[in-house]
Structure 1
Amino acid sequence: MASPDTDSKPALRRVLRASLPDALSQLAQSIEIRQVLHDWLSHRAERVISAFSAIPGEPQLLPLLSELKDRRWVLPRIEGDSLHFHFVDHTQTELETGPFGITEPSAIAPLCPTDGVQIFLCPGLGFTPCGKRLGRGKGFYDRSLAQSDSESIRVGVCFREQVHPHLLVDPHDMPMHFLATPDGVKECR
């Protein structure tokens, strides 16, 4: 990975996209990540969890909704420059295609205030073991996480290839508390 001091974020994002695993590996790692998260979440007291609908290059988490029915699941919906979190049930029947081709809750799904989410499962292009996260560049997650409850837990969810020793991030980029990969959920240090 090139030095963060010499690379711009757009160039870094291109490098990170190019280093993603192939589709078959993404599918296999998604299954492993879901099992790791299932086991980890099963031992946690938090009940309101935000997942995400995967786009290419992100782990697929939606089967967790039907596997952990004792949790209250929310998914983000893009509205303008913001993410709004809406409750969804395990059947996922209230989902539709949003502005960037991302599956999201319909506007009539019950709203969950951002500070009501206890655990955020967050996608990203890259993460560091100490919790730095580089997103896709629109800042949706960073703005939402900045409004979350101070006790909420942020979990970066990624493929093995998305963990890097160094990333170029800005002060407003919200750090993760944990990283979830096929190898487990590890606290960021």
Structure 2
Amino acid sequence: MASPRFDSKPALRRVLRASLPDAAVQLAQSAEICRVLRAWLAQRAERTVSAFSAIPGEPQLLPLLAGLPDHRWAFPRIDGDGLHFHYTDSIHSGLQTGPFGIAEPRPDAPLCPIKAIEIFLCPGLGFTAGGKRLGRGKGYYDRTLPQADSESIRVGVCFREQVHPELPADPHDMPMHFLATPDGVVGCV
């Protein structure tokens, strides 16, 4: 799908939201994304992974926790203008609804230092094969990811329809190292 040119990121975000697949397709693609991520993560040496609780229009990743019990999982919690990550061992007792209606760790969940996270699974509205990521516009990930260890790996997680040939990027936008779609996990070129 060709990415339309827009004078503003807000206008582009509206178009990208409107181009998302329907709920049934999102559910089916989420299952495939979990399958390919489970296989990819199982082959890697890194064991501390941050995931996210999906909002409408994002892949559902929570099944990964049960499928990879030897990994340590951290989920973001919105704190002011940034994200803090907390270890979450159980999606049933470890998450609660946060200020934007997103499931996030309970305040008493153990804090995971950002430098301890080896792989970041990142949501977004759109991605390019070259690793550009267009988020939802609040900048939480773009402000948080520069604080991570320089060796950490950033993986954009998205539906097929969210991969575009071109997207705008600002100098502070953090590029992804890999993209995870229902078709596999591929390195960004």
TM range (shorter): over 0.9
Q: What's the offset of the Cα at 1:113?
A: 0.9
Identity %: 72
Note if 1:107 corresponds to 2:84: no
Q: What's the offset of the Cα at 1:103?
A: 0.1
Q: What's the offset of the Cα at 1:7?
A: 2.5
Q: Give the aligned partner of residue 140 of structure 2.
A: 140
Q: Give the aligned partner of residue 161 of structure 1.
A: 161
Over the aligned positions, Cα root-mean-square deviation in angstroms equals 0.8
Of 18-27 and 83-92, deviating more is: 83-92
Structure 1's unaligned 5+ residue stretches are none
Q: Give the aligned partner of residue 62 of structure 1.
A: 62
Q: What's the offset of the Cα at 1:54?
A: 0.2
Amino acid in structure 1 at the alignment position of 2:79: E
Q: Distance in 1 between matches of 2:144 and 2:111?
A: 14
Deviations 1:104-163 (A, max 9, x none): 001100001111100000000000000000000000011110100000000000000000
Deviations 1:50-108 (A, max 9, x none): 00000000000011011100000000000111100000113541211001000000110
Q: Distance in 2 between matches of 1:91 and 1:57?
A: 20
Deviation beyond 4 Å, 4+ runs, structure 1:
none
Q: Give the aligned partner of residue 116 of structure 1.
A: 116
Q: Give the aligned partner of residue 152 of structure 1.
A: 152
Q: 1:91 to 1:17 in 2, by over 3 A?
A: closer
SS across alignment from 2:87 = strand
Q: Give the aligned partner of residue 41 of structure 2.
A: 41
Q: Distance in 1 between matches of 2:85 and 2:65?
A: 15
Q: Distance in 1 between matches of 2:119 and 2:59?
A: 17
1:66–1:91 CA contact under 8 A, matched in 2? no
Per the normalisation by structure 2, the TM-score is 0.97
SS across alignment from 2:93 = coil
Q: Distance in 2 between matches of 1:177 and 1:92?
A: 30
Q: Give the aligned partner of residue 188 of structure 2.
A: 188
SS across alignment from 2:28 = helix
Q: Give the aligned partner of residue 4 of structure 2.
A: 2
Q: Distance in 2 between matches of 1:37 and 1:158?
A: 11
Structure 2's unaligned 5+ residue stretches are none
Of 89-98 and 154-163, deviating more is: 89-98
SS across alignment from 1:93 = helix
Q: Distance in 1 between matches of 2:156 and 2:143?
A: 16
2:62–2:91 CA contact under 8 A, matched in 1? no
